[in-house]
Structures are given as structure tokens and as C-alpha cells.
């Protein structure tokens, strides 16, 4: 429905692309940024277009909004709390559009009376400089089934996004996590694009990581199986040489990594349920060392 008041926190790849899609569909959108820029432009197969969004570096004058989308990296969620405290009221739904599991729990401490909706996104998009995002492909989301999920799907009517509702969101988020613990972790560690996953020794490592993640996810309540793991390896095997991952781009750019919320989520779930995940634990240690942040958070 046009005219719903939307604010999006995080003007990176996902936030920028969602803001542009909503704005082009006629929604009034405020993009809440940490690093200010003047204009939002999006490049895709159709060329480069500017999106008519309001860009704000401070919450003053925006007021409570109907929809507040959080599109920071997971590790920056708490850093965005001042936006949530200023813009979320009793009529607001805060939508946490991030990878990993337990997205809603990340904003609950500072969301006040607002409703919270977690969202999983499939969308390959890259911020190449402040205010400019490149859409490489895909545009879909999954949210929990229910009135909020339905209303959120309605918000994206007329955009490029397909929003599906899933009654078993825990399973849906673990399915996405399976892809991330292989694709993001291995590309970031090897500094190679997804084609590295077609090398036999790396494919074996991927299978081992996935088998552990499936066991941890099942113990955590996800209805996933070896077939889901096979789908992930098959999907990577079928990819060309060009694709990367957001964690690879972040490592190449020297930015903080999201590993604690991806591989770290598998290790934490395994710890909660007394499951051994030595390969994921080793990968977590390597990612932590590569990012300069030991797993115990001591740096
Ligand atoms: N990109 C993809 O293809 C993709 C695909 C699927 C899922 N995801 C997931 O989507 C989420 C967002 O990823 P992304 O690729 O869009 O990340 P990103 O390009 O790094 O963008 C994150 C943005 O959040 C901003 N930010 C951080 N703290 C903030 C604060 N306190 N206030 C306002 N803005 C703040 C950053 O600002 P600065 O400009 O100052 O750094 C940055 O622009 C992640 O969970 C990711 O795993 C991404």
C-alpha cells in the first residue's frame, strides 16, 4: 500500500537496494546512514538509476515510523540502537533483515513496545562506494507467517522483491545459514570467489562443515537434513567463477567480519546442545584471527 512511512537503518548494499526498490514503488523512504552521502544510485542490468530517498544521518525530525528496517551487519545492530529508540513506537514494526539466526533477539533489548519481525534475504548486492550499490542478482525475502509477515509482503508489492511467509522460520533461517557457513567462511578465508568450492579438497571441507551444521541446527529445532546440505554443495558446484560473498568483500576491504553470527552461530548452537563441531570451531578460530577478533572477544 503506497504512503506507508518507512525508515531503513544502514545505507549499504541491502539497505540501499531495498530503499531504492521501495522508493521506486512510491513509498516515502528515509535511509538512515552512518557515513553520510548525497545521493543513492543503483546499478543493475538496466543501467544506473538514482532513487528518490531522503538520506538522514540523525534521527531528528523523522518521528515514529510504521516500518523500521535494520540492514546493518549483525555485529552493528547494537550500534544502531539510537535509531531504533528514536524511530520505533507502539505502531512500528522493526524488521531485522540480516543473515544468521535469532535476528529478533538482537533488537529486543532496545525496541521498546514495537513489534519485531525477523527477515532472511536472498539478494546479491554490493556497496562499491558510499551511496552506490550494484545489484548482481536475486531479490527475495522470507519472513515468519502471520499478520506482520503479510503486511510486510504487502509493503513490497510493486517492487522487485518477492516476500514469502514461512510458518517454520527457524528452519528457513538455518537453511540460509548452511549456505553462509560454507560460502562466506571459505571465500573469506581463501580470499577466492565461489569457484574455490569446486576444488575437491574444499568440497570435502564444505561437506564436513555442513554435516556439523545440520546436526547443530537439528538440535536447535530446525527441520533440516543431509538433503539440505547436498543442495548447498550442488548450488555452489553449479556457480560460475564470478560470485563472491559479503564476508569476502568485507575482508578484502579490511572491514569487520560477520563471522560470529554465521559460523559462530553454529558453534554457539552446538555448545547449547552439547554437540561436537570441530571443523566449524577451527574455521571460527581462523576467521576470528583473520579479522583480528579472537572468539572470546578479547580484542
Ligand atoms: N550484500 C549481500 O549480498 C547480502 C545478501 C544476503 C544477506 N546479506 C546480509 O544483509 C545484512 C546487511 O548486509 P550488507 O551487505 O548490506 O552490509 P553493508 O553493505 O556492509 O551495509 C551495512 C551498512 O550498515 C551501516 N551501519 C552500520 N552501523 C550503523 C549505524 N549505527 N547507523 C546507521 N548505519 C549503520 C554501514 O555504514 P557505513 O557505510 O558507515 O559502513 C553500512 O552502510 C548482513 O546481515 C548480511 O549478511 C547481505
Identical fold for domains 6-167 and 170-291, yes or no, is no
CA 210–ligand 1 middle distance (angstroms): 25
Tell me the DSSP string of 265-298.
HHHHHHHHHT---HHHHHHHHHHHHHHT--TT--
73 annotated active-site:
no
Residue 17 clears pLDDT 60, i.e. is over it: yes
Ligand 1 contacts CB of residue 10 (under 6 A): yes
pLDDT of residue 121: 97
Task: Judge whether 258 and 245 are in contact, CB under 8 Å.
Answer: no
Q: State mean pLDDT over 129-136.
A: 94
pLDDT of residue 242: 65
Confidence of residue 280 (pLDDT cuts 50, 70, 90): very high
Residue 243 clears pLDDT 80, i.e. is over it: no
Q: State mean pLDDT over 125-142.
A: 94
Q: State mean pLDDT over 72-81.
A: 97
Low-confidence winner among 2-6, 80-84, 109-113 (lowest mean pLDDT): 2-6
Residue 142: φ, ψ to 5°: -125, 130
Confidence of residue 249 (pLDDT cuts 50, 70, 90): confident
Q: Which of 7, 10, 18, 110 to mutate to test the pocket of ligand 1 (most atoms within 8 A of CB)?
A: 10
Given 3.40.50.720, 3.30.390.30, 3.40.50.150, 1.20.58.220, which CATH number is that of 6-167?
3.40.50.720
Residue 296 clears pLDDT 90, i.e. is over it: no
Among residues 282, 261, 265, the alpha carbon closest in space to that of 219 is found at: 265
Residue 298 clears pLDDT 80, i.e. is over it: no
Residue 293 clears pLDDT 90, i.e. is over it: no
| Ligand 1 atom at shortest distance from the alpha carbon of 98 | 45
| Ligand 1 atom at shortest distance from the alpha carbon of 245 | 3
Distance CA 36, CA 262 (A): 28
pLDDT of residue 22: 98
| Ligand 1 atom at shortest distance from the alpha carbon of 72 | 24
pLDDT of residue 63: 84
Ligand 1 contacts CB of residue 77 (under 6 A): no
Highest mean pLDDT among 165-174, 232-241, 289-298: 165-174
Catalytic entry in 176, 192, 207, 293 = 176
Residue 299 clears pLDDT 90, i.e. is over it: no
Residue 20 clears pLDDT 80, i.e. is over it: yes
Specify the higher pLDDT residue, 213 or 1. Answer: 213
Residue listed under C-alpha cell 531528528: 60
Domain 170-291 fold: 1.10.1040
Signed CA dihedral, 222, 223, 227, 228: sign only: negative
| Ligand 1 atom at shortest distance from the alpha carbon of 124 | 3
Q: Which residue CA neighbors atom 34 of ligand 1 most closely?
A: 10
Domain range summary for the chain, segments of one domain joined by +: 6-167, 170-291
Averaged confidence pLDDT in the chain: 94
CA 52–ligand 1 middle distance (angstroms): 20
pLDDT of residue 2: 47
Q: Which of 55, 59, 70, 76 to mutate to test the pocket of ligand 1 (most atoms within 8 A of CB)?
A: 76
Amino acid at each position: 500500500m503506497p504512503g506507508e512511512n518507512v525508515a531503513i537503518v544502514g545505507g549499504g548494499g541491502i539497505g540501499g537496494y531495498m530503499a531504492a526498490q521501495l522508493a521506486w514503488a512510491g513509498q516515502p523512504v528515509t535511509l538512515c546512514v552512518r557515513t553520510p552521502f548525497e545521493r543513492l544510485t543503483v546499478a543493475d542490468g538496466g543501467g544506473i538509476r538514482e532513487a528518490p530517498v531522503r538520506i538522514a544521518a540523525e534521527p531528528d525530525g523523522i518521528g515514529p515510523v510504521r516500518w523500521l528496517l535494520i540492514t546493518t551487519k549483525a555485529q552493528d545492530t547494537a550500534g544502531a540502537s539510537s535509531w531504533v529508540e528514536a524511530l520505533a513506537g507502539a505502531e512500528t514494526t522493526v524488521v531485522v533483515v540480516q543473515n544468521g539466526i535469532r535476528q529478533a533477539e538482537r533488537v529486543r533489548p532496545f525496541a521498546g513496545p514495537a513489534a519485531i519481525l525477523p527477515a532472511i534475504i536472498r539478494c546479491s548486492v554490493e556497496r562499491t562506494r558510499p551511496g552506490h550499490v550494484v545489484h548482481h542478482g536475486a531479490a527475495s525475502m522470507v519472513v515468519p507467517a502471520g499478520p506482520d509477515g503479510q503486511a510486510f509482503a504487502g509493503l513490497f508489492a510493486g517492487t522487485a522483491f518477492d516476500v514469502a511467509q514461512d510458518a517454520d522460520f527457524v528452519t528457513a533461517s538455518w537453511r540460509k545459514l548452511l549456505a553462509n557457513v560454507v560460502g562466506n567462511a571459505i571465500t573469506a578465508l581463501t580470499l577466492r570467489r565461489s569457484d574455490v568450492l569446486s576444488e575437491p579438497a574444499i568440497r570435502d571441507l564444505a561437506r564436513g562443515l555442513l554435516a556439523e551444521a545440520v546436526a547443530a541446527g537439528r538440535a536447535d529445532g530446525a527441520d533440516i537434513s543431509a538433503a539440505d546440505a547436498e543442495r548447498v554443495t550442488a548450488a555452489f558446484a553449479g556457480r560460475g567463477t564470478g560470485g563472491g560473498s559479503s564476508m569476502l568483500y568485507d575482508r578484502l576491504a579490511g572491514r569487520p567480519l560477520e563471522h560470529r553470527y554465521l559460523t559462530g552461530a553454529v558453534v554457539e548452537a552446538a555448545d547449547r546442545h552439547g554437540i561436537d563441531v570441530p571443523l566449524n570451531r577451527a574455521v571460527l578460530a581462523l576467521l576470528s584471527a583473520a579479522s583480528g577478533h579472537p572468539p572470546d572477544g578479547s580484542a
